[in-house]
Amino acid sequence: MNRFIVHNVAPNVTVRVTRAMPDLPPTLDSVVETLWRTAAARVEAGGAGRLFNGQIFSIDTIAPHEITGHLTEYRRLVAQMENHDLYADLGIRSLSVCGVLHCAAGIAIGRRPAAAIYQPGMWQCPPAGSVDSHAVAADGTVDLAEQMLRELDEELGLEPHQVARPIPLCVVEHPGSHVSDCGMAMTTVLSADAVHTAHRSRGNGEYAELRIVPPGDLADFIAQAGDLLVPPAREYLFRLGLLPAGITPKPIRG
């Protein structure tokens, strides 16, 4: 059985766009467009918002100190998530950022809406989102921390000055969709109430539920969540030394 793959990255890993987006043959483009329209209609009907076909970063090569790739269309990624077999033709390994927010009371964990395109109804460490063209500088370099702080503002309603600068932990790649989540550690002195208030008042509804789990309660939470906790979350918590004694990540290395 295929397993999630963990890629080690340095805290100062550089990310860079090194080539242009490839064209699609007309037949493949038609397949992509059909899957995109179907997925977009399902998401909108489920009340999870509307999909926007922006440009996102796709990994070409990944090493501890450097990740290279290109910008591609979000609709291509959605098509590949709808049909994993399309990876052979599209070759998309979309890079996302996924925060591990440690506030004064514990770790923020959010549940994705049931109508979400990726990992619907599952618990994950928020905020999270694809690395898009807004994070790309004129010289092609990509600022992962900037992308993470933008997601923090949009999804949890927290402002950049309220957290320490995010630090990359590792990249966890899904074996089917090839979505590759870069875990990023963040800390804030805010209380659980302050985080919840920001989420309710300024968040964009990306999470149907948000919990702040005290470190001493992580074992119970992980046991209760079971397979509804996305595998990368365990890896991030393990690397930060936040998993209780006796709890280790499920075997997700390839």
Per-residue pLDDT of the chain (254 residues; tens, 9 = 90+): 468 899 999 999 999 999 999 999 999 999 999 999 999 998 888 876 788 999 999 999 999 999 999 999 999 999 999 999 999 999 999 999 999 999 999 999 999 988 777 778 999 999 999 999 999 999 999 999 999 999 999 999 999 999 999 999 999 999 999 999 999 999 999 999 999 999 999 998 889 899 999 999 998 999 999 999 999 999 999 999 988 655 666 555 43
DSSP label of 136: B
- 196: exposed, middle or buried (Cβ count in 10 Å: 0-12, 13-18, 19+): buried
Q: What is the pLDDT of residues 123-179, one digit of tens each?
A: 999 999 999 999 999 999 999 999 999 999 999 999 999 999 999 999 999 999 999
| Helix, coil or strand: residue 7 | strand
d(CA 90, CA 49): 26
CATH architecture of 5-239: Alpha-Beta Complex (3.90)
Which phi-psi region, left, alpha or beta, contains residue 231 (left: φ > 0; alpha: ψ -120 to 50)?
alpha
d(CA 86, CA 91): 8
- DSSP assignment of 189-204: ---HHHHHHHHHHH--
Q: Which pLDDT score, from 0 to 100, does residue 59 have?
A: 98
Torsion, CA 160, CA 165, CA 170, CA 176, rounded to 10: 10
Q: Which pLDDT score, from 0 to 100, does residue 131 have?
A: 97
Name residues whose C-beta falls within 8 Å of residue 27's C-beta, 6 or more positions apart in sequence. Answer: none
Both tokens assigned to 65: 């100190």
**Do residues 5 and 253 touch, judged by C-beta distance below 8 A?**
yes
Both tokens assigned to 140: 């092609």
Q: Which sequence spans correspond to the domains of the chain? A: 5-239
Residue 61: beta bridge partners?
68
Q: Which pLDDT score, from 0 to 100, does residue 254 have?
A: 38
